[in-house]
Structure 1
Amino acid sequence: MNLRVLLAALPFVGIYSGGSLATHIPMLFGVPFLLVWNLIWMAGTAAILAFIYYLDSRDEAARAGEQTGGEQ
């Protein structure tokens, strides 16, 4: 399976898996665990999407290089 698809599914799985952990860890840093969990995954989602964007732009640059290299 494509790496970008797996990376894109990771935040979905991460955010929805926090509910099962919340019964074991009620408070973290003085706030409810699910609030901390969602904040961590919100930042993590941004990082994962930035990495996916980097992978995509790298692939587009490689494809553009192949197209211009074949015309010369």
Structure 2
Amino acid sequence: MKFRVLLAALPFIGLYSGGSLAAHTPFLFGMPFLLVWNLIWMAATAAILALIHCLDTRDEAAHANEHAGGAQ
């Protein structure tokens, strides 16, 4: 569970750490650095949330308990 919580914190840290880097890099790919940074972290956030969804087994455990209880 702790690993999932750490994964969930990554997008927050990533999005808000870009401001300190923006002063040193004015443009990237012809766009302002902060815009590119936010676009990258938007895609990374979606990937991280998909990974957290795959790692989450609570629904499977509840489903297994439901079937085990009904068989008795």
Aligned CA-pair RMSD: 1.9
Report SS of the residue matched to 2:24: coil
In 2, the alpha carbon distance for the partners of 1:24 and 1:59 equals: 44
Q: Which residue of 2 aligns with 1:28?
A: 28
Alpha-carbon distance in structure 1 between the residues aligned to 2:63 and 2:29: 48
Between the aligned partners of 1:59 and 1:27, the Cα distance in structure 2 is 44
How far is 1:63 from its partner?
A: 6.4
User: TM-score w.r.t. structure 1 length?
Assistant: 0.81
Consecutive aligned runs of 4 or more in structure 1 exceeding 4 Å deviation: 62-65
| Structure 2 residue ranges without an equivalent (≥5) | none
Q: Identity of counterpart residues, as a percentage? A: 67
Report the CA distance between 1:32 and its aligned residue: 0.1
- Give the TM-score of the pair, scaled to structure 2: 0.81
2:38 corresponds to:
38
